[in-house]
Structure 1
Amino acid sequence: MAESERVKMAAGEWYTCLDDELESLRVVARDAVFEHNCLPPRQRGNLGPGLKTLLGNAGEGARIEAPFHCAYGFNIFLGDGVFLNAGCTILDTASVRIGKGTLLGPNVQIYCAEHHKEVAGRQAGLEIAKPVEIGANAWIGGSAVILGGVSIGEGAIVGAGAVVTRDVAANTTVLGNPAHRVKRD
């Protein structure tokens, strides 16, 4: 029996996102995100009830401002006290782990999916999922983009608007496109 597209996605193999099972999982995520985004701020608490059940883990005091968007949700793991500001998008085709106390500015985007390089592959919906890990107490500036396969170390700072295409060491600051290390004040 052939492996399902979801199994291939979880294994980090090429899979097609044009799949009924994956689409049904995305519908569940869209419903939970819609619910969260439509709650009055005082009723959201730390997370809307739909997101609490959708996410892989949400530590104590984790907060996500609306609007928020994710692809699946179950691949997102938030440590205690993590804060995602308004407009964050996480395309979590692979695991996204965000360490405790980490702050994401408005409109931060995390993209785990990488599309096929060949036109025919893209037309067939072929993707490969690459995980993202962000250590504890990192600060990701507004509108930063983090690509799949990247690890950002504990205490690192990613400047606003940076495009992170490779790993960032702990306690360093990066900025620019592509992101590069700068001396820390």
Structure 2
Amino acid sequence: MSQKERMLTNKLYLADSEELLIERKHANELMFKFNNCNPNDETRKKSLLKKLIPNIGENYRIKQPFFCDYGYNINIGDDFFANYNCTILDVASVTIGNNVKLAPNVSILTAAHPIDPIIRNTNYEFGININIGNNVWIGGNTVILPGVTIGNNCVIGAGSVVTKNIPSDAIAVGNPCRVIRFLQEKDKKFYFKDKEIDLNY
């Protein structure tokens, strides 16, 4: 089994194998072009992102800078938005549904290292898949750790560190991130605390 095959099946693997080094170099070149592209050149930015992340849906927007390991392990649905400085370490699969919004400085990290220092010093590492459902909003400076699933319609509060699965329809915050409540009827009336929604939509 190659190191890439080990990586893609969530096993311990060596990231500095020749095949993986070549693939990361390719991703780095695309990221460099995207991150240094004229921010108003939407056509070129979208073209570069499509090369970097082939499995991305329709109507996507990612603000510069953006960082990932490979790109091909990221699967994104339609109507996706990521604000400044999004990082996705995709040594394992990252699946993101439709209508997902990421605030600035969100990190989605499938990559990790063994706890035992002797094993860790062999340079073996691993990745565990991350899944994010539909209609999810993730607040600024949130970190999502390996193996996490976030259900549909969730809101993750700013500054959260998501270490465990979050069920659908939950509002969750904190370090470690915990569910504080579920979506309610009042959320259809107020958009922020006591600020009432006054639009027809």
CA distance in 2, matches of 1:151, 1:43: 34
In the alignment, which residue of structure 2 is the partner of 1:101?
Answer: 99
In the alignment, which residue of structure 1 is the partner of 2:87?
Answer: 89
In the alignment, which residue of structure 2 is the partner of 1:179?
Answer: 177
Check conservation: 1:36, 1:44, Cα contact below 8 A. Answer: no
In the alignment, which residue of structure 1 is the partner of 2:41?
Answer: 43
Percent identical among aligned pairs is 39
Check conservation: 1:84, 1:104, Cα contact below 8 A. Answer: yes
Say which of 63, 74, 86 aligns to 1:65.
63
CA distance in 2, matches of 1:133, 1:56: 18
Say yes or no: does 1:4 pair with 2:14.
no
Higher Rg: 2
Structure 1 counterpart of 2:3, one-letter code: E
Structure 1 counterpart of 2:145, one-letter code: L
CA distance in 2, matches of 1:46, 1:180: 40
Say yes or no: does 1:141 pair with 2:168.
no
Within a 5 Å distance, the mapping from 1:100-119 to structure 2 comes to 100-119=98-117
Give the match's secondary structure for 1:42.
coil
* Unaligned segments of structure 2, at least 5 residues: 188-201
Check conservation: 2:37, 2:45, Cα contact below 8 A. Answer: no
In the alignment, which residue of structure 1 is the partner of 2:196?
Answer: none
Check conservation: 1:46, 1:63, Cα contact below 8 A. Answer: no
Shift of residue 52, structure 1, vs aligned partner: 0.6
In the alignment, which residue of structure 2 is the partner of 1:20?
Answer: 18
CA distance in 2, matches of 1:88, 1:77: 15
TM-score, structure 2 normalization? 0.87
* Unaligned segments of structure 1, at least 5 residues: none
**Greater relative contact order: 1 or 2 (C-alpha under 8 angstroms, separation 6 or more)?**
1
TM-score, structure 1 normalization? 0.94
Change in 2 beyond 3 A, CA 1:61/1:13 = same
Check conservation: 2:31, 2:52, Cα contact below 8 A. Answer: no
Count of residue pairs the alignment pairs up: 183
CA distance in 1, matches of 2:54, 2:47: 14
CA distance in 2, matches of 1:5, 1:121: 17
Structure 2 counterpart of 1:78, one-letter code: I
Change in 2 beyond 3 A, CA 1:46/1:31 = closer
